[in-house]
Chains A and B, each alone.
Chain A
Amino acid sequence: MTLSLSDPTWYPIASSDDLPFRHVYQGQLLGRELAVWRADDGNVNVWENRCLHRGVRLSIGINEGGELKCQYHGWRYANRSAGCTYIPAHPADAPARRIQNRTYPVREAYGLIWSAANDEQAFRPFAGAEGHDWFALRPMPVNAAPEDVLAALAGLAPDDQPADLLPGLAVRFGGTWYFVQPVDAGRAVIRGLLREQPADAVATLRHYNETLSKLRDRLERAAARKPAPEPLQPTFEKLSADLATMPDIAIPRGNTITVVVRRKWTSADGVIGFELAARNGHLPTFQPGAHIDLHLPNGMTRQYSITNGPGELMSYIIGVKQESASKGGSKVLVETVREGDLLSISEPRNNFPLRRDAVRTVLIAGGIGITPLLSMARFLDKSALPYELHYFTRAGEQVAFRGDLEALHGKVILHTGLPRAEIGTTIASALGQWSMAQHVYVCGPGPMLETVRDTATAQGWPEESIHFEYFRNDKVIDNSSAFDVELARSAMTLHVPSGKTIMEVMRDAGLTVPSSCEQGACGTCLTTVIEGEVDHQDVYLNRSEKASNTCMMTCVSRAKSARLVLDI
């Protein structure tokens, strides 16, 4: 029998005990090296043992609980998705491209960790697995061909109890199962299971360990007399073409994802929590500060920040403000959406990236603005980075996500029911004087944003150190310019006079143009620019995206040049 790189069989690759928290295990299956690690939520990750950046083994990296950190340049990869969430060399950027490490299927069962070279086969328990309290033996690595190891194990069976050869390089006799993990052409690990817990665990383990050590020594002596088999030659998969070029700013338009409302609850007075779960598997990677577009049953789109911590991808948790004045948006969510309903969301997008290179991070939240900042605090927490979270609400009952806030290890300060005047002085002392590598992130009602911005500026905080996000475009739109737009794919040129938007002109010409907020905040009308210089007036694109001059929002933005060529 020769081993095949594309063998879809599930093999055990580690014991459950091999994966204590915050450890990275180095494994190998069918010639491919694996970095295996357990996140703090218990989930086991089996990844190709190679960072996508410069090919360094991830098994020398650091398990931070929700993310794995590469030892070479500190890139972080998220639990479950293996998506890259942070690139320290460019701390102000949200990794725009979908950099995702290669993952392998995984299942933890019977005291072992199982994986396969591909996901062609669903995991199926071995025959007779169910209904027993399995006991894992000490794994025994052997430098011999897996098929030889299997044959030798079968030879251990007593004469009156012939060995049962099972599918997947396994053998059984009596209450003992042996699985051979094909590490490589000339290397294997014997992973034994006993059907029941022995009376004296350690004595039993020692007994089997002795037997298997002798078997190993015999096998290795025999292997040494034969020519060593050629190791398997796995290849590394190529990256997608968009990752191969440098940087440019590609904005993930993303697909929509259907999620199910797993839980809906009152998190605080006026704040409803929603847990949106993937229907199968996990949701896409997100970074702290990211939001999703939620497509509501009534056709509207609204943005909500993800509150989750690193590597929490089984569901996104959002907080929705119950506004009496709200016209249709959150109202629909709060009043008509129920647990079990399906909703459609966009992939996460990040206009509010968190730098992790600050010596001090100040997070200031007002009311529902806590949501992105809670996520940020959770990320900083896991990396043991210092931060102060100030959370302003009108009353104690309005403090949302209270339990989650209490679980944080950083400085969390609740300011409830402060009179207007005191809010200003509190913010001023929370900020303090600026010094190098300090950053403040603020999310809350407009006036609060302004207060933080003005106070920070007055106290010496430079513009680059003050971070905030708009879900609403409060800027006054200057629509005085007039110019031509050429629609490359539609082969038409239209004139945009002052006082009209590009979107309106296109609609007048009979085109269907998707939109939602029509104030440059939601991203629905994002369009690719082929030529011409854009006069950006939206709050959706971030600074570098705007500077790239490759895309625009046709609902508010215009042209600085006489002509724009759009990919429509």
Chain B
Amino acid sequence: MPSIDPITRDLWQVIAATDEVPVGLVEITTLLDVRLALTRDNDGNPVVWRRTDEEQGDEIDPETVLDRLPVITGYGYIWTSLGTPPKELFPIPEYAEADRKNMSCGSIGLAVSAPRAVENFLDMGHFPYVHTDILGAEPHTEVKEYDVEVSEERDEVLATRCKFIQPRAAKSATEAMEVEYVYRVPHPFCSVLYKSCPEDENRRDVIAIFLQPMTEERCRAHLLQSMIDSTSTITDLRRFQQTIFGQDKPILENQYPKRLPLDPRAETPIRADKSAIAYRRWLSQKGITYGVIPMAS
């Protein structure tokens, strides 16, 4: 079994959407090559443990589970850790705003490492080719100059002033517009984006991707939307996000190698990839080795 680096071990890792875990029934999943079982007790609180012989759908009395892993809930999801996690999850303050539609959009399996999926989430250059006629369309393919920094105080990668011409930026969009994005990577396997909101020009829609590294080369993408949209239903909004994600999936699954190479000489970066370069460097400096091909020392 591959070794888990200490940074990864001590992080909170997402494993399921809270509402989708039935009370008193076993759900099974894999995290960092470890087989896990989870359920919720009568109060709805999640219980997570290392799976032994439980099967999917078994009935279980959560009281009988003694050897539990740490658990925290946040942004509609259950998070656990194989090590000693920090007190709190990274912040997404917008999630608490009362008028937002917050929703999970399904947990989807991907045959690629979690960091590859994060990098795809940060990437604007693929919009016209992969999300044709929705997030981009030829001939408008240019990725203009934008800013990237690694925020010291919050220990996260931040890309700002990212702009792209989009035919249909959101469910609520009706015409093409130049959309501005901000991207955050507050966790090695999670990213949050803020984009211009068609309904209210002073606010931003928030979309996040939380990746559950199942193995080094396979992950589960948990999607969160926190939208300002007074007309669409949750089903509509989910459908929009799943359409987008369903387009990324075949690209990600055709990427080789499946782990993210951190050696700068493995792939060819261009200016548009500034955020990806910063992300790779950040992972490298942190000492993450799970799901990546570390730089040869």
- Residue on B nearest A53 in the bound complex, by CB: B268
Residues of A within 8 A of B257 (CB): 55, 236
Do B268 and A243 touch across chains, with their CB atoms under 8 A apart?
yes
B105 at the interface (CB under 8 A from A): no
Residues of A within 8 A of B277 (CB): 246
B140 at the interface (CB under 8 A from A): yes
- Residue on B nearest A386 in the bound complex, by CB: B139
Residues of A within 8 A of B265 (CB): 238-241, 243-244
Counting contact residues on chain A (CB < 8 A from B), the size range is 35 or more
A247 to B271, CA, bound (A): 6
Answer whether A50 and B256 are a contact pair too, CB < 8 Å, given A72-B130, A246-B274, A385-B139: yes
A54 to B268, CA, bound (A): 7
Q: Of the 9-residue stretches A86-94, A396-404, A452-460, which lies at the interface with chain B?
A: A86-94
Q: Separation in Å of the A542 CB from the closest CB of chain B?
A: 15
Q: Of the 9-residue stretches B55-63, B121-129, B179-187, which lies at the interface with chain A?
A: B121-129
Do B128 and A53 touch across chains, with their CB atoms under 8 A apart?
no
B267 at the interface (CB under 8 A from A): yes
Q: Separation in Å of the B96 CB from the closest CB of chain A?
A: 36
Do A73 and B255 touch across chains, with their CB atoms under 8 A apart?
no
B141 at the interface (CB under 8 A from A): yes
Do B264 and A55 touch across chains, with their CB atoms under 8 A apart?
no
Do A89 and B254 touch across chains, with their CB atoms under 8 A apart?
no
A147 at the interface (CB under 8 A from B): no
Contact with B along A209-249 (1 / 0, CB 8 A): 00000000000000000000000000010111101111100
A245 to B277, CA, bound (A): 10
The answer, among A71, A92, A357, for a CB contact under 8 Å with B138, is A357
A99 at the interface (CB under 8 A from B): yes
A356 at the interface (CB under 8 A from B): yes
Do B270 and A87 touch across chains, with their CB atoms under 8 A apart?
yes
Do A246 and B269 touch across chains, with their CB atoms under 8 A apart?
yes
Do B130 and A71 touch across chains, with their CB atoms under 8 A apart?
yes
Q: Separation in Å of the A100 CB from the closest CB of chain B?
A: 10
Contact with A along B170-197 (1 / 0, CB 8 A): 0000000000000000000000000000
Residues of B within 8 A of A243 (CB): 265, 268
B89 at the interface (CB under 8 A from A): no
B21 at the interface (CB under 8 A from A): no
Tell me the A478-530 residues at the B interface (CB within 8 Å).
Answer: none
The answer, among B125, B264, B268, for a CB contact under 8 Å with A88, is B125
Do B255 and A56 touch across chains, with their CB atoms under 8 A apart?
yes
Question: What are the 7 tightest A-B residue pairs by CB atom distance, in nearest-first order?
Answer: A88-B141, A89-B272, A244-B264, A89-B125, A357-B139, A244-B265, A89-B143
* 15 CB < 8 A contacts A-B: A50-B256, A55-B255, A56-B255, A71-B129, A72-B126, A72-B251, A73-B123, A88-B138, A88-B141, A236-B256, A236-B257, A238-B266, A243-B265, A246-B273, A357-B138
Residues of A near any B CB (own CB < 8 A): 33, 49-50, 52-57, 60, 71-74, 87-92, 99, 236, 238-241, 243-247, 356-359, 385, 437
Residues of B near any A CB (own CB < 8 A): 119, 123-126, 128-130, 138-143, 250-251, 254-257, 261, 263-274, 277
